[in-house]
Amino acid sequence: MRLSTKGEYGVRAMAVLAYEYKNGATSLRVIAEREHLSELYLEQLFRELKKAGLVSSIRGPKGGYMLSKPPSDITVGDVVRVLEGPLAPVDCVSEEETKDPCSKESCCLTKFVWAKLRDSMAKVLDEITFGDIIKDLSNEKLKLNDR
């Protein structure tokens, strides 16, 4: 299972906002340059993130985007679900009810495998906050400086 670029780039961009959280708004241009991403693509992602209430925007010369909540209150799972949709390695175990249930659902031999995979992914993504990412980055810098 792979995340699309929407999920990957969205998490990377949100990590930049978490890193810059105390400094205020960060422009998409700065995020794009720092992460080597398309600014136009980030605009699309940030529309969805803003609509979901994860980021807010500020207009003007010093404007840009910032997290709507502290980094420790936003999980990687929050971002992935906004940009990728519900977690589901296969449709029959989606976090959301599907319109067309699987015809083999009542006798599926492998459904528990896919449900366990979904639950494991959700657990990891929901345990890691953007505060954790910044803390880990700080720890890595300390390790490098100790050498």
The CATH number assigned to the domain holding 31 equals 1.10.10.10
- Over residues 64-80, the pLDDT tens digits come to 999 999 999 999 999 99
**Per-residue model confidence (pLDDT) at position 147:** 41
What's the chain's average pLDDT? Answer: 89
* Domain count within the chain: 1
Owning domain of residue 56? 5-146
Please provide the DSSP assignment of 56-119 as one string. EEE-STT-EEEESS-GGG-BHHHHHHHHH-S--SSGGG-SS--SS--TTGGG-SSHHHHHHHHH
d(CA 78, CA 112) in angstroms, rounded, equals 24
Of residues 105 and 89, which shows the higher confidence score? 89
Question: What average pLDDT score do residues 98-125 get?
Answer: 83
